[in-house]
Structure 1
Amino acid sequence: MAQAAAAYGDERLAVADAEAGSGVKVAIFLRDLGLGGVERCAVLVGEGLVARGFDVTLVLLGGHRNLWEARIRQVKVVDLSAQWQPLKPWTWLKGWRAARRIAREHDVVIAGTFLLPLYMAFAATRGLGKRVLGWVHGPMAELDAFARMNPVHRFACRYVYRRLDELIFVSQHARESLSRWLGEAPRPGWQVLPNFIDDADPAGSPPLPREPSALLRMVFVGRIAEEKQPGLWLDALAELNARALPAQLTVVGDGPLEGWLRDEAQRRGLAEQLVLAGRQEEVAPYLQAADVLLLTSSFEGCPLVVLEAMAQGLPVVSTNAGGVYELFGERRGEFVVDEASGAALAGLLQRQDRAALSWWLLERAVRYSAKTTLEKWQKLLD
Structure 2
Amino acid sequence: MHTRYILLLQEDMAVGGIHTATQALANALRCAGQIPVALALRNTRIGALLRAVWRADIIVATNGFLPSYAAWLLGMLLRRPVVAWLHGPTQEVLEHAHASAAKRAWLRWLYRRLRWVVFVSAHTRDSFLEFTGGAAAGQRLEVIPNAHPDWQPAPMGASPQYLGFVGRLAPEKQPELLVQMLRLLPTTYRLCMVGDGPSQPALCAAGADLQQVGRLELRPFHLVQATVYAPWQVTVLASLYEGCPMAALESLAAGRPCVGLPIPALREMLGPDMPYALAHDCSAAALARAVQTVCAMPPEQLAHDMAQVLRRYSPERFSHNWQRVLQEAAC
Question: TM-score scaled to structure 1, two decimals?
Answer: 0.78
Q: Give the conservation status (yes or no) of the 8 Å contact 1:315–1:354.
A: no
Which residue of 2 is the match for residue 318 of structure 1?
A: 260
Structure 1 counterpart of 2:247, one-letter code: V
Alpha-carbon distance in structure 1 between the residues aligned to 2:154 and 2:274 = 23
Q: Give the conservation status (yes or no) of the 8 Å contact 1:132–1:164.
A: yes
Q: Give the conservation status (yes or no) of the 8 Å contact 2:7–2:38.
A: yes
Deviation at 1:153, TM superposition (A): 3.4
The answer to whether structure 1 residue 180 and structure 2 residue 125 are counterparts is: no
Cα deviation per residue 1:3-37 (whole Å; 9 max; x = unaligned)? xxxxxxxxxxxxxxxxx3x3322111111222122
Which residue of 1 is the match for residue 239 of structure 2?
A: 297
Cα deviation per residue 1:113-169 (whole Å; 9 max; x = unaligned)? 122211111111215442111110001100111111244433332221110121000
Which residue of 2 is the match for residue 13 of structure 1?
A: none
Higher relative contact order (CA 8 A, sep 6+): 2
Residue of structure 2 aligned with 1:357, choices 302, 309, 312:
302
Residue of structure 1 aligned with 2:34, choices 54, 62, 77:
54
Alpha-carbon distance in structure 1 between the residues aligned to 2:218 and 2:108 = 39
Alpha-carbon distance in structure 2 between the residues aligned to 1:123 and 1:335 = 43
Deviation at 1:351, TM superposition (A): 2.2
The answer to whether structure 1 residue 339 and structure 2 residue 281 are counterparts is: yes
Question: Percent of pairs identical after alignment?
Answer: 28
Q: Kindly tell me: are residues 248 and 379 of structure 1, through their superposed partners in 2, closer, same or farther at Cα, counting changes over 3 Å?
A: same
Q: Give the conservation status (yes or no) of the 8 Å contact 1:99–1:124.
A: no
The answer to whether structure 1 residue 277 and structure 2 residue 219 are counterparts is: yes
Alpha-carbon distance in structure 2 between the residues aligned to 1:185 and 1:125 = 20
Q: Kindly tell me: are residues 211 and 268 of structure 1, through their superposed partners in 2, closer, same or farther at Cα, counting changes over 3 Å?
A: closer
Q: Give the conservation status (yes or no) of the 8 Å contact 2:89–2:124.
A: yes
Which residue of 2 is the match for residue 119 of structure 1?
A: 69
Structure 2 counterpart of 1:368, one-letter code: Y
The alignment yields a C-alpha RMSD, in angstroms, of 2.2
Which residue of 1 is the match for residue 154 of structure 2?
A: 206
Where in structure 2 are there 5+ consecutive unaligned residues?
none
Deviation at 1:262, TM superposition (A): 1.8
The answer to whether structure 1 residue 262 and structure 2 residue 204 are counterparts is: yes
Question: TM-score scaled to structure 2, two decimals?
Answer: 0.90
Q: Give the conservation status (yes or no) of the 8 Å contact 2:193–2:218.
A: yes
Q: Kindly tell me: are residues 148 and 271 of structure 1, through their superposed partners in 2, closer, same or farther at Cα, counting changes over 3 Å?
A: farther
Q: Give the conservation status (yes or no) of the 8 Å contact 1:100–1:125.
A: no
Give the SS at the match of 2:265. Answer: coil
Deviation at 1:261, TM superposition (A): 1.5
**Count of residue pairs the alignment pairs up:** 323
Alpha-carbon distance in structure 2 between the residues aligned to 1:277 and 1:105 = 42
Deviation at 1:185, TM superposition (A): 4.6
Deviation at 1:270, TM superposition (A): 7.4
Alignment of 1:42-81 (within 5 A): 42-63=22-43, 80=44
Structure 1 counterpart of 2:24, one-letter code: L
Deviation at 1:305, TM superposition (A): 1.1
Deviation at 1:332, TM superposition (A): 4.7
Alignment of 1:230-249 (within 5 A): 230-241=175-186, 246-249=188-191
Alpha-carbon distance in structure 2 between the residues aligned to 1:329 and 1:348 = 13
